[in-house]
Amino acid sequence: MSGNANIDARIQALEEKLAFQDDLIDQLNQVVSQHSFEVKKLWDANRLLRQKMDDARGPESEGSEAPPPHY
C-alpha cells in the first residue's frame, strides 16, 4: 500500500503545480493584454502628435526641401 500512497502523493503534488501554473498563465495573459492595449494607445498618441507637428510645419515641409540658392 505504501506504493499507492506514494503515487497518490506524487499525483497530488503534480495537480497542485498544474493549478498554480494555470493561475500564473491566466495572470500573465491579463498583463500581456493590458500592455498590448497600452502600446496601441501610445502608437495612436504618437501618430496624432506627428500629424500635429506636420500640420504646424506647414505644407512646404511635406515635400523635399527647396534647393539651395546657388543652384
Q: pLDDT tens digit string along 45-71? A: 999 999 999 999 876 655 566 777 886
| Total tally of structural domains belonging to the chain | 1
Residue 12 lies inside a defined structural domain of this protein: no
Residue 3 lies inside a defined structural domain of this protein: no
Residue 57 lies inside a defined structural domain of this protein: no
The grid coordinates listed for 59 are 505644407
Residue 41 lies inside a defined structural domain of this protein: yes
What count of residues does the chain have? 71
In which domain, by residue range, is 30 found?
Answer: 23-52
Residue 67 lies inside a defined structural domain of this protein: no
Residue 35 lies inside a defined structural domain of this protein: yes
pTM here is 0.60
**Positive or negative torsion for Cα 5, 7, 9, 15:** negative
Residue 11 lies inside a defined structural domain of this protein: no
